[in-house]
């Protein structure tokens, strides 16, 4: 599948639009159109239902170390600035950027790659901001131009191995930037905090600076005690939250994959330190299975355990659930969700202050005068188990997913092309989105074969019966074959057609989007038939 076809379909059929498009757009921001909003709502609702509302805390779920409770939260986007100081985001949530003095473009240091080569006695690093095969082609093209070569002179370029990251290069004087014509135009890497700043209140001094949250997780940690005190939850339990997060990404790219405003679906699962490794494995496998059950199966989805040196400063185990998005190079995967064992880092940080590693321990970071660099709340966030009479700071397992990335992966996976007979019986190319029925924006479309003989009236009755139970679409315009194609293209699993036989025996045809099978049911059975098939 090529990404351009999907992007074009998303715009043409109202899944996704560039934000503020009539003003030229704003990089890193996206709007979900009439069908996109239904799709993303279905992703969020599937997550919330499967993780929170349908969870049965009275039984031990398959693979879980014990029974557990799940509850939800909806926190504010702007929180006290100390939250981000203690969490580490204020000091550490940054990327490195490099600027090009010639092209005036800005790049994320670790996203620029390139190849060393020698030609005409000169050794240079030709850089590109595209990975994979595209990067190889671009670097070759740039090198030919730089050395003023023609196609037949290709052999005079001596390449040193594959594309490598710009982070491996220390001397930028021999680097040909991704959009530059001369050498040495890239600035040394500079740190750039990804949190968006804003001001609270009318006067707006430095003391009134606040941040748009870069993750929903911290809102859960700072409410841990509120939830414990206001409900009867007992450890082990999880708090789930879905909400917007904001990151001032240096190079937003790849459609919605890396946006500056996006939505997260996060769970913070609180458990006893002794059982936390078992809970980590449970959540890692359960979250992977969630994507599989909704259709992301096969070799495009993988679960990857982080190596020890990849782990965050607080984590003793992390796995990524990754998808082979079509815009990535061969063999490359992009992160859909991270499942992290965070120990007691977060709750302790909000009690004591920002923590740092000292040997194997976590200690409060101190300033030059020996005081905490960022002071915690001082509130006791430990948990007292009244059955075992034990007090402890719970360990946390965090499955952290992106609603937009999941939606994009479901769109990519759903995109299919095949051949099917058109209205004249001639085999023609068909584009269809093979969504899992739970995710499909429209569940059923209802057509009268022709706009006469009482067919529209029957079709409208069926539409009225379905509408309170599912998203349905009524269409009486144009050839029926074309109406089928339009529904296939937006992933509607079932089309119901009222035809001349309906007038005789009261049956209608139902057509399956994927198999193109058609069968007849009584017009009064449409709702029951669809409900049973949509639940499969
Ligand atoms: N609380 C942990 C946390 O936020 P993360 O790996 O930075 O971890 C979790 O983000 C998920 O949020 C990612 O796996 C991804 O799905 C989504 N995400 C992160 N940055 C994103 C961005 N710029 N655009 C879209 N989704 C993003």
- Chain segment 366-412, per-residue pLDDT in tens: 999 999 999 999 999 999 999 999 999 999 999 999 999 999 999 99
Predicted local confidence at residue 314, as pLDDT: 62
For 197, the 3-state DSSP assignment is strand
In this structure, which residue's CA is closest to atom 22 in ligand 1? 258
- Tell me the average pLDDT across 273-279: 95
Q: Would the pLDDT of 139 be above 70?
A: yes
313 has a pLDDT exceeding 70: no
Q: Alpha carbon 174 to chain centroid distance?
A: 37
With CA atoms as reference, report the closest residue to 526 among 450, 474, 487, 481.
Answer: 474
Instruction: Answer yes or no: is the C-beta of 487 below 6 A from any ligand 1 atom.
Output: no
Least reliable range by pLDDT among 284-288, 307-311, 351-355, 521-525 = 307-311
Mutate to test the pocket of ligand 1, among 405, 406, 409 (most ligand atoms within 8 A of CB): 405
Per-residue burial over 217-232, b = 16 or more CB atoms within 10 Å of its CB, e = otherwise:
bbbbbbbbbebbeeee
Residue 42, pLDDT > 90, answer yes
Nearest of 197, 206, 195, 276 to residue 235 by alpha carbon: 276
Position 420 scores a pLDDT of 84
- The residues pairing with 421 across neighbouring beta strands, listed in sequence order, are 427
pLDDT score of 128 more than 90: yes
Evaluate if residue 315 carries a pLDDT over 80: no
For a mutational test of ligand 1's pocket, the pick from 195, 262, 283, 399, i.e. the residue with the most ligand atoms closer than 8 A to its C-beta, is 262
d(CA 211, CA 55): 34
To the nearest whole percent, how much of the chain has pLDDT over 70? 99
Q: What pLDDT was estimated at residue 424?
A: 78
Query: What pLDDT score does 311 carry?
Result: 77
Residue 223: per-residue pLDDT: 98
**What is the mean pLDDT of the segment spanning 288-312?**
90
3-state secondary structure of 466: helix
Give whole-number Cα distances, 100 to 106, 124, 126, 144, 224, in Å: 6, 17, 14, 21, 45
In this prediction, residue 203 has a pLDDT band, given cuts at 50, 70 and 90, of confident
CA 213–ligand 1 middle distance (angstroms): 12
User: Each residue of 444-473: pLDDT tens digit?
Assistant: 999 999 999 999 999 999 999 999 999 999
Closest CA to 242 of 84, 51, 410, 36: 51
Is the CB of residue 401 below 6 angstroms from any atom belonging to ligand 1? yes
Mean pLDDT (the chain, rounded):
95
The percent of residues in the chain predicted with pLDDT above 90, rounded, is 88
The predicted-structure confidence for 59-116, as pLDDT tens digits, reads as follows 999 999 999 999 999 999 999 999 999 999 999 999 999 999 999 999 999 999 999 9
Compute, in angstroms, the gap from residue 266 CA to the centroid of ligand 1: 10
Pairing of strands 355-358, 175-176: unpaired
Spatial contact of 356 and 87, defined as CB atoms under 8 Å apart: no
| pLDDT value for 466 | 98
Residue 352: pLDDT band with limits 50, 70, 90 = very high
Question: Tell me, what's the pLDDT at 123?
Answer: 95
For residue 266, the model assigns a pLDDT of 98
Residue 271 confidence (pLDDT) above 90:
yes
Ligand 1 centre to CA of 264 (Å) is 7
pLDDT digit string (tens) for 492-536? 999 999 999 999 999 999 999 999 999 999 999 999 999 999 987
**Ligand 1 contact, 400 CB (< 6 A):** yes
- Angle between helix 455-466 and helix 526-534 axes, rounded to 10 deg: 50
Closest CA to 220 of 70, 337, 65, 363: 70
Crossing angle of helices 403-414 and 34-48, rounded to 10°: 110
Q: Does residue 531 contact residue 469 with C-beta atoms inside 8 Å?
A: yes
């Amino acid at each position: 599948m090529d990404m351009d076809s999907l992007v074009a379909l998303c715009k043409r059929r109202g899944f996704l639009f560039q934000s503020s498009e009539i003003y030229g757009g704003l990089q890193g921001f996206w709007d979900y159109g009439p069908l996109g909003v239904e799709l993303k709502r279905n992703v969020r609702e599937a997550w919330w239902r499967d993780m929170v509302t349908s969870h049965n805390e009275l039984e031990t779920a398959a693979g879980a170390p014990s029974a557990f409770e799940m509850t939800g939260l909806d926190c504010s986007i702007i929180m006290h600035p100390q939250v981000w100081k203690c969490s580490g985001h204020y000091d550490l949530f940054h990327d490195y950027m490099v600027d090009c003095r010639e092209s005036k473009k800005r790049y994320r240091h670790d996203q620029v790659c390139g190849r060393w080569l020698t030609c005409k006695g000169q050794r240079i690093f030709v850089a590109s901001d595209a990975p994979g095969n595209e990067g190889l082609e671009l670097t070759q093209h740039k090198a030919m131009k730089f050395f003023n070569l023609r196609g037949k002179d290709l052999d005079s370029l001596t390449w040193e191995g594959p594309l490598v990251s710009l982070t491996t290069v220390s001397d930028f004087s021999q680097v040909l930037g991704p959009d530059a014509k001369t050498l040495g135009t890239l600035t040394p890497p500079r740190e750039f905090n990804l949190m968006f700043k804003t001001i609270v209140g009318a006067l707006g001094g430095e003391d009134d600076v606040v941040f748009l949250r870069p993750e929903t997780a911290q809102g859960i940690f700072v409410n841990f005690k509120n939830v414990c005190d206001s409900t009867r939850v007992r450890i082990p339990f999880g708090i789930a939250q879905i909400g917007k997060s904001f990151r001032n990404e240096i190079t937003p790219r790849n459609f919605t994959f890396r946006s500056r405003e996006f939505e997260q679906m996060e769970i913070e699962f609180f458990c006893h330190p002794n059982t936390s490794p078992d809970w980590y494995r449970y959540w890692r496998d359960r979250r992977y299975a969630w994507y599989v059950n909704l259709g992301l199966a096969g070799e495009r989805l993988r679960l990857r355990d982080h190596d020890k040196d990849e782990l965050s400063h607080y984590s003793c185990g992390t796995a990524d659930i990754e998808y082979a998005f079509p815009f990535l190079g061969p063999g490359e995967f992009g992160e859909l969700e991270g499942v992290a064992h965070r120990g007691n880092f977060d709750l302790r940080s909000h009690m004591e202050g920002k923590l740092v590693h000292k040997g194997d321990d976590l200690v409060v970071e101190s300033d030059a005068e020996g005081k905490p660099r960022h002071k915690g709340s001082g509130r006791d966030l430990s948990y007292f188990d009244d059955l075992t009479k034990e007090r402890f700071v719970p360990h946390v397992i965090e499955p952290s997913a992106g609603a937009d990335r999941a939606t994009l992966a479901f769109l990519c996976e759903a995109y299919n092309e095949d051949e099917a007979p058109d209205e004249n019986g001639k085999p023609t190319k068909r584009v269809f989105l093979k969504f899992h029925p739970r995710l499909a924006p429209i569940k059923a479309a209802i057509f009268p074969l022709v706009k006469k003989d009482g067919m529209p009236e029957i079709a409208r009755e069926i539409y009225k019966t379905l509408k309170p139970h599912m998203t349905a679409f009524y269409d009486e315009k144009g050839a029926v074959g074309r109406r089928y194609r339009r529904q296939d293209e937006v992933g509607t699993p079932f089309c119901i057609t009222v035809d001349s036989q309906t007038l005789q025996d009261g049956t209608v045809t139902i057509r399956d989007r994927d198999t193109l099978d058609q069968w007849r049911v009584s017009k009064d059975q449409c709702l029951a038939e669809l409900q049973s098939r949509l639940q499969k």
